[in-house]
């Protein structure tokens, strides 16, 4: 069986953080957790990540979804072995508040490139805007902006666009869960958006305006949430120090809030530590993911989105010890057997 000291070592790995004299975080064990940053406008996502990196060296650091320099708001940063969980944060729904100017257009669909006003542009009413929103909710086809990180023949689209080359990007399917007019005083339009990964907010405003015979450029973008990570709770990287980062570091379990959660026995923990497969039938419940304990956000809408995203997907479970520390993600290896991957018990 897994010794109690080994279980406590996992808890220490996930929670122990002590500021060192040089301002960096000195760890009693490997750094392991998630930080909710509020990226300032004009900063790149890399600028924000570098600020954390300097405090936690030599631990690895990675973010879970780039924000353009014009944008601000939630940037989830994974630290240490939690970088293995970035893909799960990326799957979470995103929420944005976006401001557009109607009757203007630009090559980048925002004000990062020169915008031009359109003569005699139509001025849609609020009622017309609201009536058009259902066409842009659900699973929709969207064309990313020419100035985007989408690759065309191995090159980023924005690099081609900056060289003045023609950029032809194919449409792709994205999912928009919610779209509302938050404020409208022509030409200023503010939209509240809840969407899946890969959605370009600039394109959403552009296409909405075009459907009403006009055009739009985005002037401001705030990412207000990524899953359970809210902008109100995010920390500003401009003033962050070792002590502030210590208190802000969330347990890695926060990165996989959508996944069904199962508590392993001491015997199963020992099996996971040795890299063994777990018998699905031996886990809590009947062996069906829908019967396992699932921690979902309190919002009924969000809970339904979580279930839709999990429906029909291969089994993935967040395995925890008796103290609620994340020890592994269990994935189906073959019928009836689950493999721990990533296996955090083998990283301590």
pLDDT at 212 over 70: yes
Tell me: pLDDT of 339 over 80: yes
Question: For residue 148, what pLDDT is reported?
Answer: 87
Among 13, 22, 75, which residue's Cα sits nearest to residue 50?
75
- Per-residue pLDDT, 127: 98
Contact predicate 267/325, CB 8 Å: no
Task: Enumerate the domain spans of the chain.
Answer: 4-91+232-347, 94-225
Cβ(168)–Cβ(177) below 8 Å: no
Mean pLDDT of the chain: 85
Mention the CATH class of domain 94-225: alpha beta
117-134 pLDDT, tens digit each: 999 999 999 999 999 999
User: Each residue of 126-180: pLDDT tens digit?
Assistant: 999 999 999 999 999 999 999 888 888 888 888 888 888 888 889 999 999 999 9
Distance of CA 231 to the CA centre of its chain: 12
Query: Do the beta carbons of residue 84 and residue 95 sit within 8 Å?
Result: no
Whether the Cβ atoms of residue 254 and residue 34 lie closer than 8 Å to each other: yes
- Whose tokens are 């600020």? That residue is 51
pLDDT at 9: 46
Nearest partner of 125 among 193, 192, 213, 207, judged by Cα: 213
pLDDT in tens, 230-263: 999 999 999 899 888 989 999 999 999 989 999 9
Active site residues: 68
**DSSP SS3 for 263:** strand
> The pTM is what?
0.84
């Amino acid at each position: 069986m897994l010794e109690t000291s080994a279980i406590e070592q996992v808890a220490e790995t996930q929670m122990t953080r002590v500021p060192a004299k040089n301002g960096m975080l000195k760890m009693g064990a490997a750094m392991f957790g998630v930080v909710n940053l509020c990226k300032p406008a004009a900063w790149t996502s890399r600028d924000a990540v570098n600020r954390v990196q300097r405090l936690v060296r030599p631990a690895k650091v990675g973010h879970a979804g780039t924000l353009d320099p014009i944008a601000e708001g939630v940037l989830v940063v994974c630290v240490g072995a939690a970088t293995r969980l970035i893909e799960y944060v990326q799957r979470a729904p995103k929420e944005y508040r976006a401001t557009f100017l109607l009757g203007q257009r630009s090559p980048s669909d925002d004000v990062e490139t020169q915008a031009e006003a359109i003569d005699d542009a139509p001025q849609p009413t609020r009622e017309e805007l609201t009536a058009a929103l259902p066409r842009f909710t659900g699973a929709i086809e969207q064309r990313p902006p020419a100035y985007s990180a989408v690759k065309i023949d191995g090159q980023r689209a924005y690099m081609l666009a900056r060289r003045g080359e023609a950029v032809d990007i194919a449409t792709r399917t994205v999912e928009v869960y919610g779209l509302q007019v938050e404020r409208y005083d022509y030409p200023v339009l503010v939209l509240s958006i809840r969407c899946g990964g890969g959605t370009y907010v600039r394109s959403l405003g552009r296409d909405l305006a075009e459907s009403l015979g006009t055009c739009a450029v985005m002037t401001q973008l705030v990412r207000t949430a990524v899953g359970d990570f809210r902008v109100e709770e995010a920390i500003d990287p401009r003033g962050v120090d070792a002590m502030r980062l210590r208190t802000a570091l969330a347990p890695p379990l926060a990165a996989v809030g959508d996944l069904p959660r199962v508590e392993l026995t001491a015997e199963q923990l020992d099996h996971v530590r040795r890299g063994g497969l777990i018998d699905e039938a031996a886990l809590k419940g009947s062996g069906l993911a829908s019967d396992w304990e699932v921690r979902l956000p309190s919002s009924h809408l969000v809970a339904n989105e979580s279930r839709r995203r999990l429906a029909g997907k291969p089994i993935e479970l967040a395995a925890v010890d008796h103290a609620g520390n994340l020890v592994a993600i269990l994935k189906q290896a073959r019928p009836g057997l689950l493999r721990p991957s990533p296996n955090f018990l083998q990283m301590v």
